Amino acid sequence: MKRQIYMEYRKMWNKITGVAVLAMCAVVILHLFIYLNLQYRAIDSEGQIVEGLASYRALREASEEIKGTMDGTYIRELVDKYNNSFDKSYLKEHRGFLGTGGMTKFMVPNYFINYAYYGAYMSNGNDKIGLEYGFLDSEDEFYKTYKETVKEHLAEVNPYTEEQMNILGKKVDKLNIPYQTGYYQGLANLRAWFVLDYGLIFVVLAFALSGIFAKDYTGGITELTLSSKYGRKNNFNVRWIAGNMFIISIYFIFIGVQLIVNGIIATLDGWNLPAQMFWFECLHNITVGEGILILFGGGLLGAIVIGNIVMLTSIKMKNRKVAVILSAIVVFWILKSKNVYGFSKMFNPANFISDSLLTGYCFVGNMALPYFVIVIIFTVFYVALLWIGIKMSYRKYYID
């Protein structure tokens, strides 16, 4: 059976698949290089403005000055450094968002501090980077304010009951403080462009998997395939396993390109920083790197669901061209309908990469289930349902 799976897997790597994968990689690479080169600038350690791709390395070097543990001493020194910096005077005169207005080494710690004040209304604009807050006089007061802000944020953007908020409040109180801070712009880019280009995987799968059960496509279903009960059953298992292996392969190619390109441009430093430096209201004591891996895991599960939808479409339509068109329509609809709010958005596999995986909870009685657990449950349900649909259709498959 292993040999058959391998052979079916190899059949999927045809010219159409090759073109689709190369197109996906080209779009990802060009998207990153062109946008990051044209739109970004940074303030280096000498107070000079560096533009284009070189701005990320300049920012990383400048950020060495602000690495450390955000305890009382660090915060007091940070306030003094920022108030006497070129960065502050520059950003005061150049309004807009820091990505295009000027990336600065103060972004990471200052954003985190400003979140304690703005909460759910925090943004990455340079009007919310100042440090004129009374709660910065004391480490205890700062982290107390931060934790209260997290609780208010969770209550404001989610329909949690008072009892549920008490449960989440206990999680907030158990966060490991004080936090480490430093540079993570490359990881920020990785997360942003991973989310932005994620839909490309769906498009590739719509083209590449639409012929897996088609009768008019090389490597598709033939009369010989259906000639015996054993052959029919065995062939179904082989194709379904090979199809899911193909989905995983495409996904890791996509992730590999993202990691390589973002690593080359801005490095992937910052994996060991606490997740709260990036996702302010995250209640898990994990690192930024672990948080990104969770998002990658959610992305893989979403791709598997979409791939199985395409395989079901292939066996229902039997004709590859029709399956491609219908799969493309389904993919477009899924991507189009992902922009909803609340828990319902987690039903959509396109949202299996949402930051909510790290910040959202679903309650079952008094048990708070993180959204990434919900995504796993939904994936098992979706794939099981699609597997049954494909299997039942395969039993009734015939050649006209």
Cα dihedral sign, 150-160-303-35:
negative
> What pLDDT is recorded for position 228?
44
- Cα dihedral across residues 202, 203, 204, 209: positive or negative: positive
- Residue 209, token pair as written in the block: 């998997």
Q: Which residues of 82-115 are buried (b: 16+ CB within 10 A; e: fewer)?
A: beebebbebbeeeeeebbebbbbbbbbbbbbbbb
Contact 200, 24 (CB under 8 A): yes
Same domain, 128 and 274: no
Closest CA to 193 of 29, 372, 360: 29
Q: Token pair for residue 197?
A: 């280009």
Q: How far is CA 381 from the centre of its chain?
A: 21
Report the DSSP beta bridge partners of residue 361: 370
Please report whether residue 245 resides in a domain: yes
**DSSP class of 344:** G
Q: Which pLDDT score is estimated for 215?
A: 55
User: Which SS3 state, helix, strand or coil, does residue 99 take?
Assistant: helix
Q: Are residues 196 and 115 part of one domain? A: no
If asked whether residues 194 and 269 sit together in one domain, one would say yes
Q: Are residues 105 and 191 in the same domain?
A: no
Residue 226 has what pLDDT? 47
349: preceding bond cis by omega (within 30 degrees): no
Q: Same domain, yes or no, for 346 and 388? A: yes
The reply to whether 84 and 212 lie within a common domain is no
Query: pLDDT tens digits for 152-164?
Result: 999 998 889 999 9
Q: Is 199 in the same domain as 156?
A: no
Q: What is the 3-state secondary structure (H, E, C) of 129-176?
A: CCCCCHHHHCHHHHHHHHHHHHHHHHHHHCCCCHHHHHHHHHHHHCCC
Look at residue 53 and tell me if it is in a domain.
no
Residue 60 lies in a domain: no
Cβ-Cβ contacts under 8 Å for 130 (sequence gap 6 or more) = 88, 110, 114
Do 157 and 189 belong together in one domain? no
* Inside any domain, residue 45: no
Q: Are residues 154 and 196 in the same domain?
A: no
333 within a domain of the structure (yes/no):
yes
Residues spanned by the domain of 121: 68-161
| Model pLDDT, residue 98 | 57
How many domains does the chain divide into? 2
pLDDT of residue 262: 94
Residue 46 within any structural domain of the chain: no
Q: What is the pTM of this model?
A: 0.92
**Closest to 362 in 3D by CA, of 177, 168, 82:** 168
- Any domain includes 175: no
Residue range 9-51, pLDDT digits in tens: 888 898 888 999 999 999 999 988 888 877 788 999 998 989 8
Q: Please tell me whether residues 255 and 358 are part of one structural domain.
A: yes
List, for the chain, all residue ranges whose pLDDT scores fall below the cut of 50.
216, 223-224, 226-230
Q: Are residues 156 and 207 in the same domain?
A: no
Residues 143 and 208 in one domain: no
pLDDT of residue 96: 64
Tell me if 236 is assigned to some domain.
Answer: yes
Q: Which two tokens stand for residue 372?
A: 């990434």
